[in-house]
Amino acid sequence: MTDSDINTEKSILLSARRIFTIKGFDGARMQEIADDAGINKALLHYYYRTKDKLFEAVFKEVLNVIFPKIISILQSPIPVFEKIEKISLTYIELLKENPDLAIFVFHEISRNPQRLVENFRNAGIDFGIIRKQITLEAKQGVIVSVKAEHLITNLISMCVFPFIAKPVLKGMMGMNEEDFQQFIEERKTVIPHTLISSLTPNK
Amino acid sequence: MTDSDINTEKSILLSARRIFTIKGFDGARMQEIADDAGINKALLHYYYRTKDKLFEAVFKEVLNVIFPKIISILQSPIPVFEKIEKISLTYIELLKENPDLAIFVFHEISRNPQRLVENFRNAGIDFGIIRKQITLEAKQGVIVSVKAEHLITNLISMCVFPFIAKPVLKGMMGMNEEDFQQFIEERKTVIPHTLISSLTPNK
DNA sequence: CCTACTTTTGACCAACTGGTTAAACCATTT
DNA sequence: AAATGGTTTAACCAGTTGGTCAAAAGTAGG
């Protein structure tokens, strides 16, 4: 009912994503997903045979939103500083538009870590390339010498974590929803600034 | 059986924490917790009436490990840079000793955000104090002017996130367990260095 | 209108889950 | 050794859950 009934299969996927995100895999009920999609529960099993397969369909769809954008940036021939800026911007914008995407992915991490890693590999994300670039630019003196692992981890941490911890941050720092949106908007520049100023040589 | 049967109540709590962490609240089964503790399922209900109450007991115990350490640092009369160093060190050491603590707390965030925020308040964490200190030191020119919200968020993000995303990071960057432990150890200095060098005035 | 096909449904089921209960067990005190 | 009171258990229960199935409803072509 919520979604147009033009395409049942698609509206199931939408409802499933909604419910799985809020409740997690174990907390989600097939009946609830069916209700949300405005259909009979048996119809879920008609389109996606099992709960597992339904989840997997949702999961793959979600990853297809995340991966392509990040990959194209990582592989583009621009300096590290620019990549940091672009990734911050793209990542935060993506998560701002799909606020529970981070929570959904991390639900899956604790449920089935292996599968996510495999999807990463299949997506063609090659960590070696960015590592090479970072060590190269460090040797050239463009940036301070730093382990690629830490730089990337710092970047992703600062972009993603606020969305996972959103309610805690809001509560702790006394923000309302508008404040939080503003806060997230600011991070588009704060994160690159933090990383770049810590990476700029000549102190 | 795994734990000493000297204190049944305590061994239940240990097993419950183990299972809740791995499976989440909805995924955890009372029978599994009982098995893990080597006791009858009815005994769980004898000590902790319901699954909810058992979870709450585990949750409070977990928070009692986290909060006191952080609070004492935040309220101690030392400069911001030192606080950053001490919090990084304490936080990472804490999470290194209790690797699934972050995942446990995160599970609870998505299950019941409100309760966690309330616990934060009750624990007496006062964000106003640290905010005041940061703006003061910024005015004095000791650190670059920065919004306290972003600084704290950056700090916590970089400390906690790697533990939540551990399997993904390991997979993506091709680390084995030993590598990862080394990586985490390095972050005790990498995180303060990143933040402090971005906060040090006079470029 | 009939036939063949896909989509949708209500009724149903076996397995599982959190929780209960009455009885057994065990350590102390009397 | 009997009584007491906390601890532990096996058996059980009512409600829920993922999943099935046969039949109904819709759809298109001949």
What is the CATH number for B12? 1.10.10.60
CB A165 within 8 A of CB A157: no
**Region of poorest pLDDT, from A126-135, B31-40, B48-57:** A126-135
Measured CA to CA in angstroms, residue A165 lies from A6, A158, A182, B32 at distances of 36, 11, 16, 29
The DSSP letter of residue A100 is T
Tell me what the pLDDT averaged over chain A comes to.
Answer: 91
Measured CA to CA in angstroms, residue B66 lies from A20, B101, B151, B190 at distances of 29, 9, 20, 22
CB A109 within 8 A of CB B156: no
Structure tokens at A180: 């939080």
Task: Give the residue from A49, A71, A87 where a domain finishes.
Answer: A49
Residue A181 dihedral angles phi and psi, to the nearest 5°: -60, -40
Q: What pLDDT does B4 receive?
A: 37
DSSP string, A114-156: HHHHHHHHHHT--HHHHHHHHHHHHHHTSS----HHHHHHHHH
**Nearest CA-CA distance, residue A6 and chain B, Å:** 32
Which of A100, A156, A170, A175 is most worth mutating to test chain B (most B CB atoms within 10 A of its CB)? A156
Q: Output A1 or A183, whichever has higher pLDDT.
A: A183
Q: What pLDDT does A6 receive?
A: 61
- Residues A11-51 have pLDDT tens digits of 999 999 999 999 999 999 999 999 999 999 999 999 999 99
Q: How big is the A-B interface in CB pairs under 8 Å?
A: 157
Residue-range definition of the domain harbouring residue A15: 1-49
**Region of poorest pLDDT, from A184-188, B112-116, B149-153:** B112-116
Residue A99 has pLDDT above 80, yes or no: yes
CATH number at residue B137: 1.10.357.10
Q: What pLDDT does A117 receive?
A: 83
The arithmetic mean of pLDDT across residues B126-135, rounded, is 91
Residue A88 has pLDDT above 90, yes or no: yes
The arithmetic mean of pLDDT across residues B119-142, rounded, is 89
B12 and B99 assigned to the same domain:
no
Residue B1 has pLDDT above 70, yes or no: no
Measured CA to CA in angstroms, residue B201 lies from A202, B138, B139, B196 at distances of 13, 9, 12, 10
Whose C1' is closest to the CA of B52: which nucleotide? C18
A118 and A64 assigned to the same domain:
yes
CB–CB contact A154 B114 (8 Å): no
Q: What pLDDT does B6 receive?
A: 60
State the amino acid at position B179 in one-letter form.
Answer: D
Residue B5 has pLDDT above 60, yes or no: no
- Looking up tokens 């795994």 gives B2
Structure tokens at A191: 């994160």
How many domains, chain B?
Answer: 2
> Which is nearest to B83 in space by CA: B94, B71, B93, B95?
B71
Identify the three-state secondary structure at position A3. coil
B139 and B172 assigned to the same domain:
yes
B85 and B165 assigned to the same domain:
yes
Q: Which residues contact B140 (CB under 8 A, 6 or more apart)?
A: none
State the amino acid at position B133 in one-letter form.
Answer: Q
> Which is nearest to B76 in space by CA: B64, B62, B86?
B86
Q: What pLDDT does A113 receive?
A: 84
CB–CB contact B198 A197 (8 Å): yes
Residue A4 has pLDDT above 50, yes or no: no
Chain D nucleotides reached by a protein CB under 7 Å: 7-11, 16-22
A165 and A71 assigned to the same domain:
yes
What is the band of A149 on the pLDDT scale with cuts at 50, 70, 90?
A: very high
CB of B49 within 7 Å of some strand C atom: yes
- Residues B19-37 have pLDDT tens digits of 999 999 999 999 999 999 9
How many C-beta atoms lie closer than 10 Å to residue B191's C-beta?
A: 27
B76 and B112 assigned to the same domain:
yes
Q: What pLDDT does A3 receive?
A: 36
Residue B11 has pLDDT above 60, yes or no: yes
What is the band of A68 on the pLDDT scale with cuts at 50, 70, 90?
A: confident
The arithmetic mean of pLDDT across residues B66-86, rounded, is 91
What is the band of B3 on the pLDDT scale with cuts at 50, 70, 90?
A: very low
B124 and B143 assigned to the same domain:
yes
